[in-house]
Amino acid sequence: MLPANAALRSQVSQLTLNIAVAKARLADMKAELVRAQRQLDSITYPVLSLPTEIVSEIFICCLPTPNTRQWTRRVDGIDSKQAPLLLSQICCQWRRIALSTSALWKRLDINLRRRQRRACIITETWLERAHSSPLSVRLHGPTGDLVDPKKFSETFHRYAPGIRSLEFDIFQDDLKWGMMARSIDLPLLRRLSFRLVDGDAGLPESSRVEMFKNVPQLSQVLFHQVLPEVVVLPWQQLTRFTGELYLPPECQDALRLMPNLEECAFSVIETHANYSHLEVLSHQQIRSFTLFHSTSHHYAEARSMQILQFLALPKLESLELLDVNYDDWFILEACFENGPTPPLKRLVVRPQSGKGRTGLPLTVALFLQPHLTDLEIWHPDRGFTSDFFDSLGHNSAFMPGLEKLVFYCRYREDEASQADLLGIAAEPIQRRRVMAGVAQLRVFHAVLVGDVYVSPWERDIDLFRELKAEGLDVYIGSEGGDNEI
């Protein structure tokens, strides 16, 4: 029995000693930890040592823009994984800087349906952080889903004087919302976008919107399926207007309301109605006119050029025909026969994407030739391209003022590819640059649209290298790519 007791005493003694050693080691490690933490705390990360003004500018650069893919795919602009909300979650210092940088909060994009329960709180908090920065606000409905529409209206009214840009994407029933029938002070508002997500363009007179009466700085308006008579506005002061999904008579009615309009764009709905009763409307101030195809409704055909039959634009300097129907080119001549030849300086021709082929008749180009300096052609067919450069290289009366020439090419059947274009264009452009009685061509761009690339002949590239050495601004490449020469 005695030997066993001695062994246990020895074991207890050894364990006690081991514990004492471990405690001493633990104390040393704790002391080392304290020293290391003090050293770490004394270190300032480079990013945290930057002046607040620099950090604010960096934060602003982190904001998504309407052109980025992330912005367009989001349900709304209130995303905790994106700036500015993300920046306020990193650390205390960054949160302080983010909340004090008013420019981070000047754009509010809120889905009223998705945020129906917190829309008032979010709106008030967001706009409060913007302080005195001019606001850009986008609201998309339906407003009927709001838990407390009256409280939201009160919040909107409180911050309305700071709004510079306002977008409504709402439903037809939202026009009955009390906020729409009540005038609001919007002294800074310059841009207004009003889109109906549902319904037809012809809304009843009872749906008149009164909220935009006091907008002394408003100059730019976009209406989508909303006719001007539905909204009370100071139409006389507007200088820019876009009307989407309008009929030809509705285009004329809109233009009559805005005699000081300088820039205008229309998407005209396909219709087989007979408009022979329409007289030609002459607008004396429009200098820039754009016709485009609305992608909002699949049934709306791209027949926007129809309206040109019923307009005279004697001061027109820029005309853009975007995604318009190939079969309507004959209307272009009719337009310029409605009145005095306008001083057209810029022409953009982009046919409907699915059909391709820009067969713009050369007679039209000659008809517009006196003042034209800037020409942009998309998806040209081979026949047009050959005829165009033949005239450019041999006829001094063919667009004598032309200074900038841009082509956008695809690889489609019957269309001139980038390689085709370069093979046709090089020598005529060389002849044009030494031709007497014409302006000096300063810019030539051949831009590839799409993924298919066909390498041009090296001889053609060499000719353009010579032209570039002579001072011609030459670009041969893809959209957003590098210049090949």
Asked if residue 386 belongs to a domain, the reply is yes
- For range 333-345, the mean pLDDT: 78
What is d(CA 104, CA 130) in angstroms, rounded to the nearest whole number? 7
pLDDT higher at 144 or 161 = 161
Q: What is the pLDDT of residues 262-319, one digit of tens each?
A: 999 999 887 777 787 889 999 999 999 999 888 766 555 557 788 888 999 999 999 9
Mean pLDDT across 350-365:
68
Per-residue pLDDT band for 407 (boundaries 50, 70, 90) equals very high
User: How high does pLDDT run on average in the chain?
Assistant: 84
Render pLDDT for 370-402 as a digit per residue (tens, 0 to 9).
889 999 999 888 888 999 999 999 999 899 999
Whether 280 is in a domain gets the answer: no
pLDDT of residue 91: 87
Predicted pLDDT of residue 129: 92
Residue 435 forms part of a structural domain: yes
| Domain end residue (candidates: 86, 105, 124) | 105
The pLDDT of residue 220: 96
Note whether residue 278 is domain-resident: no
pLDDT for res 199? 58
| pLDDT exceeds 80 at position 476 | yes
Find the mean pLDDT for residues 102-112: 91
* pLDDT the model gives residue 84: 92
pLDDT at 42 over 80: no
> Against a cut of 0.85, is the pTM above it?
no
Whether the per-residue pLDDT at 369 is higher than 80: the answer is no
203 within domain boundaries: no
Stronger pLDDT, 360 or 426, i.e. the higher one: 426
In a domain, 194, yes or no: no
**Cβ-contact 431, 438 below 8 angstroms:** no
Three-state helix/strand/coil letters over the chain: CHHHHHHHHHHHHHHHHHHHHHHHHHHHHHHHHHHHHHHHHHCCCHHHHCCHHHHHHHHHHCCCCCCCHHHHHCCCCCCCCCCCCHHHHCCHHHHHHHHHCHHHHCEEEEECCCCCCCHHHHHHHHHHHCCCCCEEEEEECCHHHCCCHHHHHHHHHHHHHHEEEEEEEECHHHHHCHHHHCCCECCCCCEEEEEECCCCCCCCHHHCECCCCECCCCCEEEEECCCHHHECCCHHHCCEEEEEEECHHHHHHHHHHCCCCCEEEEEECCCCCCCCCCCCEECCCCCEEEECCCCCCCCCCCCHHHHHHHEECCCCCEEEEEEECHHHCHHHHHHHCCCCCCCCCEEEEEECCCCCCECCCHHHHHHHCCCCCEEEEECEEHHHHHHHHHHHHHCCCCCCCCCEEEEEECCCCCECCHHHHHHHHHHHHHHHHCCCCCCCCCEEEEEECCCCCCCCCHHHHHHHHHHHHCCCEEEEEECCCCCCC
Stronger pLDDT, 215 or 269, i.e. the higher one: 215
In this predicted structure, what is the pLDDT of residue 10? 85
Is residue 115 in some structural domain? Answer: no
Does 130 fall in a domain?
A: no
Q: How confident is the model at residue 173 (pLDDT cuts 50, 70, 90)?
A: confident
- Range of 82's domain? 48-67+74-105
pLDDT tens, position by position, 247-258? 899 999 999 999
Predicted confidence (pLDDT) at residue 123 exceeds the cutoff of 60: yes
What mean pLDDT is predicted for residues 215-222?
Answer: 96
Q: Please tell me the total count of domains within the chain.
A: 2
Summarize the confidence of residues 133-149 as an average pLDDT.
84
Q: Residue 69's pLDDT band (boundaries 50, 70, 90)? A: very low
Query: Given this model, what pLDDT does residue 203 score?
Result: 53
pLDDT tens digits for range 422-474: 999 999 999 998 899 999 999 999 999 876 666 677 778 888 999 999 999 99
